[in-house]
């Protein structure tokens, strides 16, 4: 039987929190329990300083800092909980997944959609446990077409967030990983360099910084990596860090 997930519900509407609590009580495999509730982002952050949890069920439109701002702040924590947005506004989905949200539910939430989100949280928790056990061996565990594959981290050239997932690129092929970029930075920040809000590169694979035209961002810079043909765009914010890393290499 799957362990019960610990969830914090963050919503400024008491009735919305009550509905989520009731729905969670009906969820099975995995089950979940509400360990705390918050009516705004400030209260949620106060709770998280002394209450561990597996995930936040997070509204977006709230007084003060909104849910997106809270999710952005959570990414700075060493071990942030998973974030599942629960909102009446569908238009924020793209930004939510750029913040590495695990799921995005629109109100009124259906039981089967909430149960599916809990399964994603469960997989994340299990993956973290497996990574904690296996990371010392420098392998990444990836679920691929019903089987588990161990990919040596030394072979990974870059990691790129693609909405709900992370593309893991080696010289030979790409994998889809159900996780976030921040977990790699948290575990070994000296190995990876963030070149863009959605991309990390292995420092040892960096070869050059070149002028680049991106259809969405226009003229800028990109980093060329050993063993792959694609270039990765470098944001203006990270340009100095990339130049410094190349100089040190």
Which domains are assigned to the chain? 5-118 (3.40.50.2300), 154-248 (2.40.50.1020)
Angle at which helices 14-25 and 111-134 cross, to 10°: 70
Q: Cα(109)–Cα(101) distance, rounded to whole angstroms?
A: 17
Instruction: Choose among 35, 47, 37: nearest CA to 17.
Output: 37
pLDDT, position 1: 60
Spatial contact of 10 and 70, defined as CB atoms under 8 Å apart: yes
Give me the DSSP letters along 141-200: EEEETTEEEEEEGGGEEEEEEETTEEEEEESS-EEEESS-HHHHHHH-TTTEEEEETTEE
What phi and psi, each to the nearest 5 degrees, are found at residue 110?
Answer: -90, 150
pLDDT along the chain (249 residues), means of 10: 88 96 94 95 92 93 92 81 91 85 92 94 80 59 74 91 88 88 80 93 93 78 92 92 87
pLDDT, position 95: 86
Spatial contact of 173 and 167, defined as CB atoms under 8 Å apart: no
pLDDT, position 153: 86
Instruction: Choose among 98, 3, 6: nearest CA to 57.
Output: 6
pLDDT, position 136: 45
């Amino acid at each position: 039987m799957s362990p019960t997930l610990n969830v914090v519900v963050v919503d400024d509407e008491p009735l919305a929190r009550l509905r989520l609590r009731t729905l969670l009580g009906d969820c099975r495999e995995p089950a979940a329990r509400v360990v705390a509730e918050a009516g705004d982002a400030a209260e949620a952050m106060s709770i998280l300083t002394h209450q561990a949890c597996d995930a936040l069920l997070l509204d977006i439109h709230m007084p003060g800092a909104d849910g997106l701002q809270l999710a952005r702040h959570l990414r700075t924590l060493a071990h942030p909980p998973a974030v599942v947005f629960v909102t009446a506004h569908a238009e924020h989905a793209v930004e939510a997944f750029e913040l590495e949200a695990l799921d995005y539910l629109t109100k009124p939430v259906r039981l089967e959609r909430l149960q599916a989100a809990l399964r994603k949280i469960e997989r994340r928790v299990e993956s973290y446990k497996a990574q904690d056990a296996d990371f010392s061996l420098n392998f990444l565990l990836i679920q691929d077409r019903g089987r588990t594959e161990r990919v040596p981290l030394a072979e990974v050239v870059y990691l790129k967030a693609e909405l709900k997932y992370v593309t893991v690129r080696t010289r030979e092929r790409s994998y889809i990983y159900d996780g976030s970029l921040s977990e790699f930075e948290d575990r070994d920040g000296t190995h990876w360099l963030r070149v863009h809000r959605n991309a990390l590169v292995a420092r040892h694979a960096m070869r050059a910084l070149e002028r680049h035209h991106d259809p969405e961002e226009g003229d800028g810079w990109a980093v060329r990596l050993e063993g792959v043909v694609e270039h990765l765009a470098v944001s203006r914010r990270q340009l100095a860090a990339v130049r410094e890393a190349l100089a040190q290499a």
